[in-house]
């Protein structure tokens, strides 16, 4: 099952605002909705996650960090700029950047990821990237490894050129994401009947479970609880609307 640009944008914006509304710390260092400064650019979601301090960039092979001029990006929410408290200290672990971008080809969210510098700025370079085996040790839970070794429901983890930034990074291939999401969300027929409308957050949360979890990107419990409450309320509203429509039919 695919997701439109409009529904994708609505879902990532809701997730961003939900995370920012919480007054407790989570395993995510920072969340931001951003887009390139060009007409018609589609917003995407950027999440910074700090790994356990026992992992550091000095523990894996150091490939040469690529040099590039990063395209100008616009934070849609001024408050989403990384705060000084989110900057790395010597005792903190490696920072990983996850970027969730809507694919115009596959019509699903695609997850790109790379190790970020210990201190972030709006025009920072990526950190030296680990080899595949070391990336698995850093990010991939044991339960997902066999599935990521082949093109399974979660796709395959491989290198590619970042579609917005131009450097080589890692991504989870989306070739089977539509099929997996159809199994989670229901048939295309239900979408045609209007059941899909208002389920943007449900789609995104299930996508996190299928794709994000395969590389250590889990929705923090506090965020999930707040969003699940909204999903439940929306489901009740849809059920109420269906009942009303049934009652007024001649």
Instruction: Kindly report the CATH number assigned to the domain that includes residue 132.
Output: 3.30.1460.50
Q: Which backbone phi and psi does 104 adopt, to 5 degrees?
A: -70, -15
> Which sign does the torsion angle of CA 81, 50, 92, 72 carry?
negative
- 195 to each of 107, 201, 210, how far by Cα in Å? 19, 13, 21
pLDDT reported for residue 127 = 83
pLDDT reported for residue 40 = 82
Three-state SS string over 126-166 comes to CCCCCCHHHHHHHHCCHHHHHHHCCCCCCCCEEEEECCCCC
Strand ranges of the sheet holding 95-102, from the earlier edge strand across to the other edge? 73-75, 28-36, 44-50, 95-102, 109-116, 168-172, 157-161
Name the DSSP class of 82: P
The pair of three-digit structure tokens given for residue 102, joined into one six-digit string: 């809507």
Tell me which residue range forms the domain holding 201: 5-248
Name the DSSP class of 90: T
b (16+ CB within 10 A) / e for 75-108: eeeeebebeeebebeeebbbbbbbbbbbbeeebb
pLDDT reported for residue 54 = 56
pLDDT reported for residue 34 = 93
User: pLDDT tens-digit profile of 55-96?
Assistant: 443 343 333 344 444 444 555 544 444 433 344 443 467 899
> Which sign does the torsion angle of CA 128, 133, 134, 139 carry?
positive
Cα(14)–Cα(214) distance, integer angstroms: 23
Cα(98)–Cα(14) distance, integer angstroms: 17
Radius of gyration of the chain, Cα coordinates, nearest whole angstrom: 19
pLDDT reported for residue 151 = 56
% of residues, the chain, pLDDT over 70: 66
pLDDT reported for residue 153 = 47
Which helix (H) or strand (E) is 241 found in, with range? Answer: helix 221-248
* CB-CB contact of 205 with 15 (8 Å): no
Q: pLDDT in tens for each of the 250 residues of the chain?
A: 899 999 999 999 999 999 999 877 888 999 999 988 787 889 999 999 988 765 443 343 333 344 444 444 555 544 444 433 344 443 467 899 999 999 999 999 999 999 988 665 545 568 888 888 888 889 998 888 877 776 554 458 889 999 998 999 999 999 888 888 988 887 655 455 444 667 899 999 999 999 999 999 999 999 999 998 877 666 566 555 554 544 444 4
pTM: 0.77
For the chain, the domain total comes to 1
Classify strands 95-102 and 157-161 as parallel, antiparallel or unpaired.
unpaired
């Amino acid at each position: 099952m695919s997701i439109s640009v409009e529904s994708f944008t609505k879902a990532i914006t809701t997730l961003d605002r939900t995370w920012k509304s919480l007054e407790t710390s989570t395993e995510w260092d920072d969340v931001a909705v951003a887009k390139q400064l060009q007409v018609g650019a589609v917003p995407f979601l950027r999440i910074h996650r700090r790994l356990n301090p026992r992992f550091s960039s000095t523990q894996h092979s150091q490939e040469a960090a690529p040099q590039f001029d990063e395209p100008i990006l616009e934070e849609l929410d001024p408050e989403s700029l990384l705060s000084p408290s989110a900057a790395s200290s010597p005792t903190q672990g490696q920072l990983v950047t996850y970027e969730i971008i809507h694919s115009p080809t596959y019509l699903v969210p695609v997850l790109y990821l790379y190790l970020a510098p210990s201190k972030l700025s709006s025009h920072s370079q990526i950190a030296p990237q680990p080899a595949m085996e070391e990336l698995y040790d850093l990010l991939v839970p044991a339960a997902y490894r066999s599935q990521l070794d082949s093109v399974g429901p979660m796709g395959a983890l491989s290198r590619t050129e970042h579609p917005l930034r131009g450097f080589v990074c890692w991504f989870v291939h989306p070739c089977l994401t539509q099929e997996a999401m159809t199994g989670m969300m229901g048939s295309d027929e239900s979408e045609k009947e209007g059941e899909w409308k208002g389920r943007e957050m449900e789609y995104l949360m299930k996508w996190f479970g299928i794709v994000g979890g395969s590389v250590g990107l889990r929705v923090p419990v506090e965020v999930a609880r707040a969003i699940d409450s909204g999903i439940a309320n929306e489901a009740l509203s849809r059920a109420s609307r269906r009942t009303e429509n049934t009652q007024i039919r001649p």
